[in-house]
Chains A and B, each alone.
Chain A
Amino acid sequence: MLIKSLIATNFRKYHKLEVTDIPESGVITVAGSNESGKTSIGEAICFALFGRTFFLDEKNLGKLVSWGSDDSDVTINFIAGDDDTYELSRSVDRKGVSKATLQKINDSEENYKIDGIEEVAEALPKILGFDYDAFANSFYLAQRELTSPDPQSSTIKQMAGIGAYAQITDDFEKSNIQNAEAINELMPQVETTQAELDVIQLDETWLPELIDAEETLGNEQSDREKLVGHLNENGELYSNNYGAFHSARKAYGTFSFLGKLLFPIAFILWVLWVLNTYFKDSLMEFLSSSMTEENVSLYNGLADSWLLPGAIVALVGYLITMLVRKNSQATMKRLDEEAEGFAGALQKGHRYVTTLVETLLPERVVQMLHERKEAPSTLQILPPREQFNNLSQLAEGTTGYKADTEEITAAVTRLTDSLKKQDGEIEDLGKELLVDIATEKERSDKAGNLRSTLQGLNKVVDKCKYSIDVQNISIGLMQRAAKDSVELFNQNISDISANTLPKFTEGRYSEVRIAEDFSVQIYSDEKKDYMDFDEISSGTQRQVMLALRMAMSEELAKNSGNEKQFIFLDEPFAFFDQLRTNATMRALPDVSNVINQVWISAQEFPQDVEVAKAIVCPLDGTELVV
């Protein structure tokens, strides 16, 4: 954080204070005799930033207003973070009532402004990276404060970059306690719900088995109903077809015989006609040699008149018999097919009445029904086997309509009666299973609800446990990180001081060794050994401590995200002799790459030291514009 300008009205002794065009790097001297207003400049910076000063807290701010004025305004313009420029204005009246406005001045829109004491107080540490305490202990160093810092102070922790760890650890520990309490509260609910679930003892395969069994019974019942209808219909049809089939078979036999007779006759007559027509002379000669002339003449007369018509008639007769035979065959085939269907139905019916229904159901369902049934049912008892002994033979006999119609009718009646009885019992079993299914569904729903509740509770418990685990790991991680940061911090302080100290002491002391408790040892080049802090002179102690404090401030700046930082040294040379003051003044512009802007207040400064801006506070007068 670097200061660009500081403007105040009616602040302490100044009715008008304007320090502008402040260079971003170098030494800014604030010179003046006692009561000239040097400290007021430091106070104005502090008030502008944090709404209080080193001497006055928030309750006594009215004392900052100049005599004879009603209120005071201070505006500070600064660079922070990623080179963003901010303007922070505060005012306070005599009663101590103050106001604050913070604006990112490179954002011109009105809503980029934060108004209000509390709002600004909340935003500022996030912008600056440090709070009032850290500022007052690091970037504003009064001569009286050039002592070894308390290693347990929050400022030191902020400097080492571990300031937030304590608060975060505290938050996590509190959160862990809350999570543990939440788990303790939830566990009885988890146990109760689990116990209720255990009581139900839900077997998740049972409901599907029951549903399957009920569907199987439904299908069986439906099949039996269809079969009864089929048997009644086909039994009647069998009786009707019986006569037709046998008539067709008789016709088939008769016309087959006629066909076998007429075909040779037609053939012989045709051969004779051919001989008589085309080979008549030879035929006559042959007949004359073996027959009388009268017989030959008779043959000749008959042959000429009847051979051809006879052959044609025999052929036509043959074709007709073949047609009738084929028709009879088709009729037999159709009737036989119908009989085969009927035979299949009889076989199926036979299978139904000779098969126990329990073989179709899952074992556990059968067991349950057995336990429940007082009287033997269709599950275990089949109709008397002798009723259906000849059923298979009858079924086979239907093919070719060999079985007697009366026997068939009687068998169909027995079979359908048994099937209907089975059908009724299966329907009753199905109804029982529907009741079981409803009960099991109810149990399943209850178990589902309990399981869902349990799942929700366990989810919360697991989340709490996970949160505890993660936060414990976080705490361990921060402890290790803090140890590492402190070691690094001490090393960096030693390194930075080792660079600064020779410049401040003109080479007499070059190395600093810092322990975890911030006890300091100095290496003396003259004595070639480390010396305790108490062994060195008071003036050197203050030089060492200035170097140490500046190194710590540099660390705080880096750990708070400030690549460039100002520091205000309020009369640091009060106990320095001229030589030490000169050496320190010459060294200050170059002691750090981070602490770029060094404000120093003193009564007077050496003439030969180069400064970036010189502010001279008037002993008399209430106006300072520089």
Chain B
Amino acid sequence: MTAELELRWLKTDSVRGAAKRFAKFCKEDVKEQSEKEDFDMDKYEDAVKLVLQKLDDSISVEELFHAD
């Protein structure tokens, strides 16, 4: 399976702002990184998810208003 296919779960439409740009970057970056010998797809995916989780605050806005 190619690195590109591995990131199929990463939907750039479902995030906004900096997270959207980061997601788009990862789609391109993974092609280059996957050619390196020590590349680990699982760790790379987890790293992408981790950063996206920190960047994407679109969901928490709704949560803010439902906190009560």
Contacts and interface: CB of A to CB of B under 8 A. Distances in A.
Q: How large is the interface on B (under 10, 10 to 19, 20 to 34, 35 or more residues)?
A: 20 to 34
Contact of B17 (A104, A113, A561): A561
Contacts of A281: none
A200 interface: no
A496 to B, nearest CB: 16
B18 A474 contact: no
Interface in A81-134: 81, 104, 107, 111-114, 122-123, 126-127, 129
B18 A473 contact: no
Interface of A: 81, 104, 107, 111-114, 122-123, 126-127, 129, 161-164, 168, 171, 466, 469-471, 473-474, 477-478, 480-481, 484-485, 488, 558-561
Contacts of A484: 25
Nearest to B29: A480
A474 B51 CA distance: 7
B7 interface: no
Contacts of A129: 17
Contact of B43 (A161, A473, A559): A473
B65 to A, nearest CB: 5
Contact of A470 (B47, B54, B60, B67): B47
In the A-B complex, the 8 residue pairs with the smallest Cβ-Cβ separation, listed nearest first, are A561-B17, A561-B16, A473-B47, A474-B47, A111-B68, A161-B18, A481-B25, A123-B64
Contacts of A480: 25, 29
Contact of B18 (A114, A164, A488): A164
A225 to B, nearest CB: 62
Contacts of A126: 57, 60-61, 64
Contacts of A162: 18
Contacts of B66: 111-112
* Interface-central residue, B20, B58, B64, B68, by most chain A CB under 10 Å: B64
A111 B46 CA distance: 35
A471 B60 contact: no
Contacts of A471: 47, 50
Interface string B35-54: 00000100110111011001
A163 B18 contact: yes
Contacts of A104: 65
A127 B60 CA distance: 9
A474 B29 contact: no
Contacts of A113: 65
Nearest to A122: B64
25 contacts: A111-B68, A114-B64, A114-B65, A126-B57, A126-B61, A126-B64, A129-B17, A161-B18, A161-B21, A163-B18, A164-B54, A171-B54, A466-B43, A470-B46, A474-B48, A474-B51, A477-B29, A477-B47, A477-B51, A480-B29, A481-B29, A558-B17, A559-B17, A560-B17, A561-B58
A168 B65 CA distance: 25
A514 to B, nearest CB: 19
Contact of B51 (A112, A478, A560): A478
A559 B58 CA distance: 13
Contacts of B50: 470-471, 474
